[in-house]
Amino acid sequence: MKIRDAILRLAILGSILLSGICFSQAKSYQFEAIENLQESEKKDVVVFIHTNWCNYCKAMENTTFNNQKVADLIQQNFYFVILDAEEKRDISFAGKTFRYKPTGKDTGIHQLAETLMGGKTTYPSLIILNTKNEIIFQYNGYLKSSELLDILKKIKSER
């Protein structure tokens, strides 16, 4: 029994240590927190819009956003919001309340995701908002780490 316990403890410790190494994604915020954050420090907002069933979304989460350079650049220069396009809770942002909008049996889209994507329902989508909550960049589709790094560096240099 002691050997089994020791192996279990090592496995748990190893997974904890690996999670810190492998998953370096930037800290993400809820939309509701952005206005307060902007009061203390003005930063553009990177919004990643996804769904739970989208394989390209999962791939982008697991590769692009877990890239150390991407995570560091976002963490230092932007606020990061991850939005499930099928989120069912109401979200208050920029003086408006956005709601889930059913489109059929067990399907729908959140009004905020729909608004940010300009009515296009392509996943994943990446939106960058300036400090006035205006869209300054929009891309519908998968982005590799190198592509996202180039985009973020360009936006950062224009500020």
Q: Which of 157, 152, 159, 149 is nearest to 67 (CA)?
A: 149
CA dist., res. 112 & res. 8, Å (int): 44
H-assigned helices in 23-144:
31-40, 55-62, 68-77, 111-116
**pTM for the full predicted model:** 0.83
**pLDDT higher than 60, residue 12:** no
Name the amino acid, one letter, at 60.
M
Q: Look up the CATH architecture of domain 25-157.
A: 3-Layer(aba) Sandwich (3.40)
Q: Tens of pLDDT along 111-152?
A: 999 999 998 889 999 999 999 999 999 999 999 999 999 999
